[in-house]
Amino acid sequence: MIDAERKFREYLSEKGLRFTSERLAILLHVMSLHEHFAVDDLHHQLRQKGLSISHATVFRTLALLIDCGIVQKLPCEKMPARYEHIFGHLHHDHMFCLRCGRIIEFHNAPIERWQQKVAEEHRFQMTGHHLIIRGYCEKCH
Amino acid sequence: MIDAERKFREYLSEKGLRFTSERLAILLHVMSLHEHFAVDDLHHQLRQKGLSISHATVFRTLALLIDCGIVQKLPCEKMPARYEHIFGHLHHDHMFCLRCGRIIEFHNAPIERWQQKVAEEHRFQMTGHHLIIRGYCEKCH
DNA sequence: ATAGTATTGATATTCGTTTTCAATTGCAAC
DNA sequence: GTTGCAATTGAAAACGAATATCAATACTAT
Ligand SMILES: [Mn+2]
Ligand SMILES: [Mn+2]
Ligand SMILES: [Zn+2]
Ligand SMILES: [Zn+2]
């Protein structure tokens, strides 16, 4: 059993929820993906594997995985949201290429620290943040 | 005539578009607002003034004002987008209080500089960015 | 005035996401 | 293992912000 499964099981158990075969299948597939994906991508890939999991269940399970801290949602303007597993990964932010749609990940410690500082200055209790840099990637200049 | 009106007139003229009474009314009302507003807020306020401007025209005109650089759209998760006029204002980012919905504005020069630097490091041509700090405001801790 | 085009409001449509609900399933207590 | 029951599921319907459609109207230039 992978660590993510253990974490998900504990989360569900604490909430009085059940560990179903659908939830396991979705968890395992999400953990096997190393890109940013849309709900439909995930749904199609599961069906290609021969699993007939409904659209609704994919949405519902992703919500659980987000609440559990295994998955992160990237709100995208003008297109369906993207998701990615973050369990086992360090925090990062994203650049979106407006031409080819490429998503580039980055981490910048000074930005993270200044965010903390700004929040403190406003006596704001930061629980998270969300930084997206829009523009054109190397190939699309 | 306020500066924003001059700018909007020039923008429309260059694009071969027309300066209509609806567009003027929306522009003036948007410039009079000093909060972040949803499309429905704006629409209702215009109707309260006795102006019968359609929903569609409000959306369409906001899109023009954004393209023109007078207005900015703040994508909100789980709720309709918010807008604000930025003409005559310096760039700023936002903190969203998850409890009371308050929006706090801030500007942090080091964050802006580091964003530029990160983009350059990835040979990414930044055209804009979007930073939202989520959490709880002073009153909502 | 006239013609040509942009704009409008009302309405319908889109589409990602959420909800509904009856049938099914997991799970804990017996 | 049987039972009881709430949680879960899939299919379909509903939702809702945003957009598209289109006939009527209003500018603009000639
Ligand atoms: Mn990522
Ligand atoms: Mn603002
Ligand atoms: Zn690109
Ligand atoms: Zn608050």
Closest residue in A to B97 (Cα–Cα): A124
Nearest to A118 among B108, B115, B129 (CB): B108
> Do residue A62 and residue A121 come from a single domain?
no
Give the residue from B117, B110, B116, B44 showing the smallest Cα distance to A115. B110
> Do residue A109 and residue A76 come from a single domain?
no
Looking at residue A41, its pLDDT comes to: 97
Q: How many Å lie between the alpha carbon of A22 and the closest alpha carbon of chain B?
A: 26
> Do residue A76 and residue A103 come from a single domain?
no
Q: What is the CATH number for A30?
A: 1.10.10.10
**B116/A contact by beta carbon, under 8 A:** no
The DSSP element (H or E) to which B93 belongs, if any, is strand B93-97
Q: How many Å lie between the alpha carbon of A136 and the closest alpha carbon of chain B?
A: 5
pLDDT tens, position by position, A93-120: 999 999 899 999 999 999 999 999 999 9
Of A85, A109, A128, the one marking the end of a domain is A85
pLDDT tens, position by position, B73-112: 998 988 999 999 999 999 999 999 998 989 999 999 999 9
> Do residue B110 and residue B57 come from a single domain?
no
> Do residue B28 and residue B51 come from a single domain?
yes
**B78/A contact by beta carbon, under 8 A:** no
Strand C reaches within 7 A of the B17 CB: yes
pTM: 0.91
Provide the CA B83 to C1' D3 distance, Å, integer: 58
* Residue B134 domain boundaries: 93-140
